[in-house]
Each structure stands twice: as structure tokens, then as C-alpha cells.
A = this chain, B = another copy of it.
Amino acid sequence: MGSIQLTHHFRPVALEHASRLINHGPTVLVTSAAGDRRNVMAAAWSMPVEFTPPRIAVVIDKSTFTKELIAASGAFGLCLPGTALADLTYAVGNQSGRTVDKFTLHGIVARTGPVLGVPLIETGCAAWLECRLIREPHAEEAYDTCFAEVVAAAADERIFANGHWQFRDDNVELQTIHHLGGGNFVRAGGVLCAQP
């Protein structure tokens, strides 16, 4: 993995822990770029599929501008918005990036992914995963499902540290959001520890 230049509170996440970032089903922002175009959209449908190598699946409608950019570049990012970005998440999930640069429109600052150069969002996000598309034409066509390998990951140390999420009263703004539909999200809140 190339050197990661991290801003503020972001720290690298070991690749063997990358699946934990989306294990609990957060809504994500999918970031992509190709040539001089870039885009960001919201996606509620993603999941890990393998721990090592870390692989994920995410549903991206084949008609979207994001899918076009991913097909061209073979790469994308999954950024995990905190509660403070719920409005933005809903907004970018309801407009196309074909005719407008949503980063510029919403004043979103993107950094460049360390391995593949994907635009990644840190401000207001809890974590990001930089992903290399594994081309699976049938799954993409039949189920809009894109498989990918995570090649770099980082998280805000105020909420994910030492390989573990830490949801606390003092980091509510960074807690992940989970879309119920229609702009209603639930926040990953109270922690339960199972007693085996």
C-alpha cells in the first residue's frame, strides 16, 4: 500500500480489519472518477463478502453515472457518512452527477486515494475504503452487484480505533447512518455486548 496522507483524525485501518467498517450495514457514499469527471452517490446496499483478502459487494444501478465512471476506471471508494452528513447523503442520493459536479455543488472536499487515486471524503465521515473493481459482468448485469477488493482503508480514530468501532455519547456526529427509506435513517447507537 502506498503512503497514506491522512488529515485530522483519520488513521489507516489494517486491511484484515476492513470488513468491520461495513459489517454493521451502514449507508455509504460511493465515490468515483474517470478522466476529468468525478461523482458521489449514496448506496444503502453493500456488504463484505470476504475477510482476507478483504472483498465487498455493492449494488450500483447500471444506469447511473457512477457505474459509468467505475466501469471506465475499475475503482471506487466507499465513504461512511456520520450523522452530521445525513442531509447531504440523502441529497446526493437523489440527483445525478451527469450534469453537475456534486462535490463542487455541495462544497465536498475530496482527498485522493493512496492506491488507486479515487476521490475520498473524510470531513464528516467515519471511515473510507478504497476499492478495486473485480469485473463480474454477469453479476453486474443481472443484479447490479459489483464485487471489489479493498486495497486501502482508513477511519477517524475518534470512532474506530485499534480495529474496533467505539460508539459513545461523545462521537454521535461520526456514528454511522442506516437508511430506512425515504430519507429516514437510524443511527448506530446503543452498544449491546452478547453474553455467550
> Which A positions have Cβ atoms within 8 angstroms of B?
20, 23-27, 44-50, 55, 57, 59, 83, 86-87, 89-91, 94, 136, 138-139, 143-145, 147, 164-165, 167, 177-196
Contact = CB atoms under 8 A, between A and B. Distances in A.
Given A50-B143, A178-B178, A180-B23, A194 B185 contact: yes
Given A24-B179, A47-B59, A181-B164, A90 B196 contact: yes
B90 A186 contact: no
Contacts of A20: 180-181
Given A46-B47, A47-B45, A49-B143, A189 B192 contact: no
A101 to B, nearest CB: 19
B164 A177 contact: no
B189 A190 contact: yes
Interface core residue of A94, A136, A178, A191 (most chain B CB under 10 Å):
A178
Contact of A185 (B57, B83, B86, B192): B192
A57 B50 contact: no
A80 to B, nearest CB: 11
A4 to B, nearest CB: 23
A195 B193 CA distance: 33
A124 to B, nearest CB: 14
Contact of A195 (B26, B46, B83, B87): B87
Contact of A25 (B49, B147, B178): B178
Nearest to A145: B49
B86 A192 contact: yes
23 contacts: A20-B180, A23-B44, A23-B181, A24-B178, A24-B186, A45-B47, A48-B59, A49-B144, A50-B143, A83-B192, A91-B196, A94-B196, A138-B138, A164-B180, A167-B186, A183-B193, A184-B191, A184-B192, A184-B194, A185-B193, A185-B194, A187-B189, A187-B192
A27 B47 CA distance: 11
